[in-house]
Amino acid sequence: MLVDDEPDILRLLEITLARMNLSTLRATNLADAYELLRQHEPDLCLTDMKLPDGNGMSLIEHIQTHYPTIPVAMITAHGSVEAAIDALKLGAFDFVSKPIALEKLRDIVNHALQVKDAGDDAASDQLLVGDTPAMERLRLQIQKVARSQAPVHIHGESGVGKEVVARLIHQLSPRAEQPFIAVNCGAIPADLVESELFGHKKGSFTGAAADKPGLFQAAAGGTLLLDEVADLPLNVQVKLLRVIQEKAVRPVGAQQEVPTDVRLLSATHKDLSLAVRDGHFRDDLFYRINVIAIDVPSLRKRREDIPLLATHLLQRIAMDNGSDAINIDTAALTKLCDYDFPGNVRELENILARAHALADGGELTIDDIQFQTMGASEITEHHAKSDESYPEEPPHVPSGRIDLSDVNGDLESFLNTIEREVLDQAMLKHRWNKTAAAKALGISFRSLRYRLKKLGLED
């Protein structure tokens, strides 16, 4: 359905869509558009902003309320960034500005029509486990934003599943066949962030031995998740803002900008508005990346999901270890359901991985479920202090604590169990902040990730 009061524009849109073998309905005002919607429920709506009897924004709202599965895109006046952002916030999946670039128009239409199928995909149930109303709402929100091109900011405590949400947005989007790249902004040394994100030219700084594409180039056509975005240095924030505005990146040392087509998602466990208030995050960038905000609820606010999650995670752990699936008995489940999980789903996963490694039978019992003794407030306190309090003493292993009979002829597994325990404690102490945990252990971020994966503590 095309909604515009300018005959020339309507004609141009009709011809373009006809060449794509699509038939069109036209309306020149809001009243006609409402009537066409009622009669035909079209597959897609393109609407102008200014209409003789009102504003296209009202049409977007109307469609969101009464026909939430119909994708709608807005045609905005050239340079009207605020209007475009408002349209995206109301639920438009994209916008095209006048004068209309036909290639962009074709892309938008293709994207919108592909997404209708992707919305039916069962992927959302497989990745994002949970059937509480909060999770159902989250799933709906994800399906809706998947079709949009708008930047999405995902907020939630550590370990709640922000990256899972980002992956799902990508998988349900028309970009699903293209790369999904997640980068932890806090894990890259400050002086390398710019080159990691945007690439560099040979010789642009010491160590730049060859041209190197950045993550924006690597994610071309797909989705880039800037995780822990609050940790981006201020000078890089300015550059990122420009990339979003210009849809082009300039590699370090390059003269020219290179066009980029990337869907940008960002996430953090911090409160970005506070970071803006404190001058650590630019408000213009905040406005741009926070066009659509998604809040992932903590696990203690959806305790009813714990049994389903526990079963799912246990299956995953067993599969990763090449062992048979193991059940969990009722008392053990009740113990889990009563716990607060300051580290959220990741903590549940770690507890189960440890329990799985230590369990002797085919069922986890209450004794296999062990929580760390630190409470949430202590963890937060540790987290706050963690930057200044890395141990400087060499590691000290108390003698006599290791019982040789526990090795049981398998040193490798025994050492893995100890390593798992150490990593677990470091992650818990640093509230699942891998950068801080790696620093505390005196290993690189990369090495920590490798070890977590190796020991089945992370995907």
Site residues, ligand ATP (CB under 6 A):
128-130, 156, 158-164, 227, 269, 309, 312, 345-346, 349, 432, 458-459
Smallest separation (angstroms) from ligand ATP to the CB of 121: 16
Our CB check for ligand ATP shows the closer of 110 and 315 to be: 315
**Nearest approach, Cβ of 108 to ligand ATP (angstroms)?**
30
Residue nearest to ligand ATP (CB): 161
Closest approach of ligand ATP to the CB of residue 156, in Å: 6
Closer CB to ligand ATP, 40 or 453, in the complex = 453
CB nearer ligand ATP, residue 197 or residue 345: 345
Half-sphere exposure of 119 (CA within 13 A, CB side): 19
What minimum distance in Å lies between the beta carbon of 53 and ligand ATP? 45
CA angle 207, 209, 210 (to 5 degrees): 135
Q: Which two tokens stand for residue 23?
A: 């038939």
Q: Which CB atom, from 285 or from 310, has the smaller least distance to ligand ATP?
A: 310
In angstroms, the first-to-last Cα distance of the chain is 44
**What secondary structure does DSSP assign to 169-227, as a single string?**
HHHTSTTTTS-EEEEEGGGS-GGGHHHHHHEE-TTSSTT--S-EE-HHHHTTTSEEEEE
Nearer to ligand ATP among residue 63 and residue 452 (C-beta):
452
Of residues 17 and 292, the one with the C-beta less far from ligand ATP? 292
Report in angstroms how near the CB of residue 455 gets to ligand ATP at its nearest. 13
Q: How far apart are CB 135 and ligand ATP at their closest, in Å?
A: 7
CA 316, CA 14: separation in Å to the nearest integer? 50
Task: Give the span between the Cα atoms of 70 and 46, in whole angstroms.
Answer: 11
Distance CA 416, CA 420 (A): 6
CB nearer to ligand ATP: pick between 59 and 333: 333
| C-beta separation of 59 from 3 below 8 A | yes
What's the closest the beta carbon of residue 381 comes to ligand ATP, in angstroms? 18
Q: How far apart are CA 94 and CA 108, in angstroms?
A: 7
Which residues lie closer than 8 Å to 412 by C-beta, 6 or more apart?
none
Torsion sign, CA atoms 100, 102, 103, 104: positive
Q: Take residue 61 and report the two structure tokens written for it.
A: 């709202």
Q: How would DSSP label each residue in 129-149?
A: ---SHHHHHHHHHHHHHHT--
Closest separation between CB of residue 164 and ligand ATP, Å?
4
Nearest to ligand ATP of 53, 459 (CB atom): 459
